[in-house]
């Protein structure tokens, strides 16, 4: 007989919005077997004073590659996450032909701030098709449960080769891609994901492959995924032929649920208009779930790879150029004028200078921590000129600054978090690893937006982090504390839970650095399929060997 684990003395918040109640939870063979009082077990976990909840489900990650060298999917595991969905924004790493490995790595470097050397050393590349990729993930094993979309960008490259980022697809190419999408979802993909976001540029500074698709291609691939009766369509951004409002019409046409990235507060109030359109679309019966976040969208970036500034086509043109060519451009008054003229004409996102501050500088360490506008005011120049002038003082141009793009309006965030039919997303865990770390999304939600501000109740927040996500993706055996469900369970202290500090470390293959947040406050225990993987905030060594996570597949359902 296998041993029985009992989590004793906690307050169960089961994910269904039901009020919390005190009870024990018994677990055996990876399942919840009983909920009640005075349960007897071979192993007892004391949850006195803590909440016992379903493991959190993070539906917007980029762990497609990291899963191979970091089975724990850090730092998500430390923040109560038991299941992740990768492949978002259309950036899966399969299907991929052997000759395209470097191209995929270079694309991920530019779009998701992943080090090509890390990818080369960490990905086994023992797969080509998407089903083979899923098989490889299963063979290597993981501590957390894993699901992944098939991504549009590698799919286009696989079928169209160099033309993937040059033209629309032919009907034959679309049919081939549609077959591959259908087969991938049947094999276990979480669905199909694509991106039209203006921030998504390839290694050549041009739009990524998915942004070259026309509406006929998009519809064909969405239909191919939906035809399986399983999975979700993930869409990032909008295109000329598919505006935000039209995404709701597309969902009614294809039938599969759609999740949209992302509905964030924006200074010009666009998010309010989008929220109105969302409510109108939902009223028509459209099953569309915009992702919202409880964290500001802030990037800490170097001026060699200025991701937020690359929305300007003038900046983007520097992406494939050398450091000397970039230095020459930064020094050129005419180049600076062209950037300003572009911003004036709506080309790219105008930086919100009031949010910019110095993060790292070898030439000006005394300015670290200061706001860029304040330094510019003292120098008698505008913030853009100051930013470039200070950058040029660095031998390698690697001055680091932080700037916020969106989602720092707390009143607006509160409104979005409470909006019907929106879901928690955009943690981007596994991506932008040198620029941000939003994997602590769940602990931030529970600490700031539940305990500190009262915007959500514990029951509402946990429902959004668990059952809402499980129902959306068809993970029928997860997202609840109930008898018969998979024993994905998190135990935390609601009085202290918080994200903890963020720090910069070098622990990736090829000695690459990243930001991580592996020391949250109040997170006690985490069980995945009944196996403890975090105990008193520390990874359990035995779990690293047993790797209890499974590949999670969507179930067929009628919605």
Q: Over the stretch 48-71, which tens digit does the pLDDT of each residue have? A: 999 999 999 999 999 999 999 999
Q: Quick one: pLDDT at residue 230?
A: 96
Q: What is the 3-state secondary structure (H, E, C) of 411-456?
A: HHHHHHHCCCCCEECCCCECCCCCCCCCCCHHHHHHHHHHHHCCCC
Q: Where are the beta strands (DSSP E) in 463-553?
A: 489-492, 503-508, 512-516, 523-528, 531-535, 538-539
* Residue 417 domain flag: yes
DSSP state, 207? Answer: B
The DSSP output letter for 75 is T
Whether residue 153 sits in one domain with residue 88: yes
pLDDT of 353-388, one tens digit each? 999 999 999 999 999 999 999 999 999 999 999 999
Residue 481 inside a domain? The answer is yes
pLDDT tens-digit profile of 532-552?
999 999 999 999 999 999 999
* pLDDT given at position 203: 82
Evaluate whether residue 514 is within a structural domain: no
Q: Cβ contacts of residue 349 below 8 Å, gap of 6+?
A: 198, 199, 308, 311, 312, 405
Q: What is the structure's pLDDT at 559? A: 47
The band of 202, judged by pLDDT with boundaries at 50, 70 and 90, is confident
Please tell me whether residues 290 and 326 are part of one structural domain. no
Same domain assignment for residues 367 and 477: no
Count of structural domains within the chain: 3
Judged against a pLDDT cut of 90, whether residue 1 lies above it is answered with no
Average pLDDT value over all residues in the chain: 97
The CATH number assigned to the domain holding 488 equals: 2.30.40.10
Average pLDDT over residues 120-126: 97
Residue 508 is assigned to a structural domain of this protein = no
Q: Note whether residue 556 is domain-resident.
A: no
DSSP 208: P
Q: What is the pLDDT of residue 110?
A: 86
258 and 327: one domain? no
Residue 31 forms part of a structural domain: yes
- Retrieve residue 542's tokens: 């035995």
Residue 38 and residue 63 in one domain: no
pTM of the model: 0.97
What burial letters (b/e) apply to 501-535, b meaning 16+ CB within 10 Å? ebeeeeebbeebebbbbbebebbbbbbbbbbbbbb
Residues 19 and 149 in one domain: no
Q: How far apart are CA 479 and CA 464, in angstroms?
A: 10
Burial class of residue 132, CB neighbours in 10 A (0-12, 13-18, 19+): middle
Instruction: Give the count of alpha carbons within 13 A of 75, CB side only.
Output: 28
Q: Are 15 and 479 in contact (CB under 8 A)?
A: yes
CATH of the domain at 147: 3.20.20.140
Enumerate residues 6+ apart whose C-beta is below 8 A from 541. none
Give percent of the chain above pLDDT 90: 96
* Tokens at 319, concatenated: 């992406």
Virtual torsion, Cα 502, 508, 511, 513, nearest 10 deg: -30
Cα(80)–Cα(13) distance, rounded to whole angstroms? 14
326 and 237 in a common domain = no
User: End of a domain among 405, 430, 465?
Assistant: 405
Per-residue pLDDT tens for 287-343? 999 999 999 999 999 999 999 999 999 999 999 999 999 999 999 999 999 999 999
Give the domain extent around 351: 299-405
Q: Is the peptide bond before 262 cis (omega within 30 degrees of 0)?
A: yes
pLDDT for 557 equals 63
Torsions phi, psi of 525, nearest 5?
A: -135, 150
* Cα 85 from Cα 434, distance rounded (Å): 21
User: How many C-beta atoms lie closer than 10 Å to residue 5's C-beta?
Assistant: 23
Task: Say if residues 438 and 428 touch (Cβ distance below 8 Å).
Answer: yes
Q: Determine the Cα angle at 114 with ends 296 and 323, to 5°.
A: 100
Neighbouring C-beta atoms of residue 366, cutoff 10 Å = 9
Specify the 3-state DSSP secondary structure of 148. Answer: strand
What is Dmax (Cα atoms) for the chain?
A: 76
Alpha-carbon separation of residue 101 from 108, 119, 151, 408, 487 (angstroms): 11, 9, 15, 37, 37
Q: Residue 24 falls within a domain, yes or no?
A: yes
Angle of helix 215-226 relative to helix 171-187, nearest 10 degrees, comes to 30
* Same domain, residue pair 372 and 263: no
Residue 478 lies in a domain: yes
pLDDT, average across residues 491-507: 97
DSSP, residue by residue, 317-329: TTTTS-HHHHHHH
State the pLDDT confidence band at 198, using cuts at 50, 70 and 90: confident
**Average pLDDT in the 468-487 region?**
97
Cα→Cα distances 555→29, 151, 241, Å: 21, 20, 31
Looking at the DSSP bridge assignments, the partners of residue 193 are 151, 234
Helix (H) and strand (E) counts in the chain: 18, 23
Tell me if 58 sits within 8 A of 81, measured CB to CB.
yes
Look up tokens 């008898």; give the residue: 483
Residues 261 and 346 grouped into a single domain = no
Contact 379, 386 (CB under 8 A): yes
Cα angle value 186/188/193 (rounded, 5°): 90
Q: State whether 288 and 424 are in the same domain.
A: yes
Distances (CA, A) of 9 to 6, 299, 463: 10, 41, 21
Per-residue pLDDT reduced to its tens digit, 160-170: 999 999 999 99
Average pLDDT over residues 397-425: 97
Task: Verify that 391 and 275 share a domain, yes or no.
Answer: no
Can you tell me the mean pLDDT for 136-145?
Answer: 98
Among residues 405, 425, 460, the one where a domain terminates is 405
Element (H, E) at 267: none
- Dihedral, 408, 274, 92, 86 alpha carbons, nearest 10: 60
Same domain? For 166 and 278 the reply is yes
């Amino acid at each position: 007989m296998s041993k029985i684990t009992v989590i004793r003395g906690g307050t169960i918040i089961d994910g269904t919005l039901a009020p919390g109640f005190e009870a024990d939870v018994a677990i055996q063979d990876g399942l919840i077997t009983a909920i009640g009082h005075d349960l007897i077990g071979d192993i007892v976990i004391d949850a006195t004073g803590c909440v016992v909840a379903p493991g959190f489900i993070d539906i917007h990650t980029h762990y497609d590659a990291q899963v191979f060298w970091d089975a724990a999917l850090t730092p998500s595991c430390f923040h109560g996450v038991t299941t992740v969905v990768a492949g978002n924004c259309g950036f899966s790493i399969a299907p991929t032909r052997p000759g395209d490995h470097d191209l995929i790595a270079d694309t991920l470097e530019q779009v998701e701030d992943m080090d090509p050397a890390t990818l080369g050393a960490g990905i086994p590349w023992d797969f080509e098709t998407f089903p083979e990729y899923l098989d490889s993930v299963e063979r290597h094993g993981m501590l957390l449960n894993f699901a992944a979309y098939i991504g549009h960008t590698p799919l286009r490259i696989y079928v169209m080769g160099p033309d993937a980022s040059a033209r629309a697809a032919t009907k034959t190419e679309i049919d081939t891609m549609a077959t591959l999408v259908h087969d991938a979802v049947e094999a276990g993909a979480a669905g199909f994901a694509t991106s039209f976001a203006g921030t998504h540029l390839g290694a050549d500074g041009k739009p990524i492959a998915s942004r070259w698709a026309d509406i006929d291609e998009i519809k064909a691939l969405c239909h191919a995924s939906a035809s399986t009766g399983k999975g979700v369509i993930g869409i990032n951004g909008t295109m000329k032929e598919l505006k935000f409002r039209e995404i709701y019409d597309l969902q009614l046409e294809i039938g599969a649920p759609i999740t949209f990235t992302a509905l964030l507060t924006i200074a010009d109030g666009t998010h309010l208009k989008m929220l109105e359109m969302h409510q109108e679309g939902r009223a028509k019966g459209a099953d569309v779930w915009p992702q919202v976040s409880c964290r500001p969208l802030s990037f800490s970036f170097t001026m060699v790879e200025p991701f937020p500034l690359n929305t300007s086509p003038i900046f983007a043109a520097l992406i494939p150029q050398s450091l000397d060519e970039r230095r020459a451009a930064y020094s050129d008054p005419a180049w600076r004028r062209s950037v300003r003229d572009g911003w004036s004409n709506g080309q790219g996102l105008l930086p919100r200078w009031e949010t910019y501050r110095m993060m790292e500088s070898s030439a000006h360490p005394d300015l670290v921590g200061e706001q860029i506008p304040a330094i510019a005011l003292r120098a008698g120049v505008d913030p853009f000129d100051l930013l470039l002038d200070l950058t040029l003082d660095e031998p390698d141009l690697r001055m680091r600054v932080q700037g916020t793009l969106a989602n720092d309006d707390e009143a607006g965030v509160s409104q979005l978090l409470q909006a019907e039919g929106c879901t928690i997303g955009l943690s981007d865990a596994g991506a932008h690893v040198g620029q941000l770390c939003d994997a602590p999304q769940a602990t931030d939600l529970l600490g700031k937006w539940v305990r500190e501000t009262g915007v959500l109740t514990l029951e509402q927040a946990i429902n959004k982090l668990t059952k809402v996500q499980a129902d959306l993706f068809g993970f029928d055996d997860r997202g609840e504390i109930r008898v018969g469900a998979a024993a994905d369970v998190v135990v935390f202290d609601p009085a202290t839970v918080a994200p903890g500090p963020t720090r910069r470390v070098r622990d990736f293959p090829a000695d690459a650095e990243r930001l991580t947040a592996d020391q949250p406050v109040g997170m006690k225990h985490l069980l995945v399929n009944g196996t403890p993987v975090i105990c008193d905030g520390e990874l359990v060594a035995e779990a690293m060997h047993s790797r209890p996570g499974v590949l999670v597949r969507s179930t067929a359902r009628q919605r």
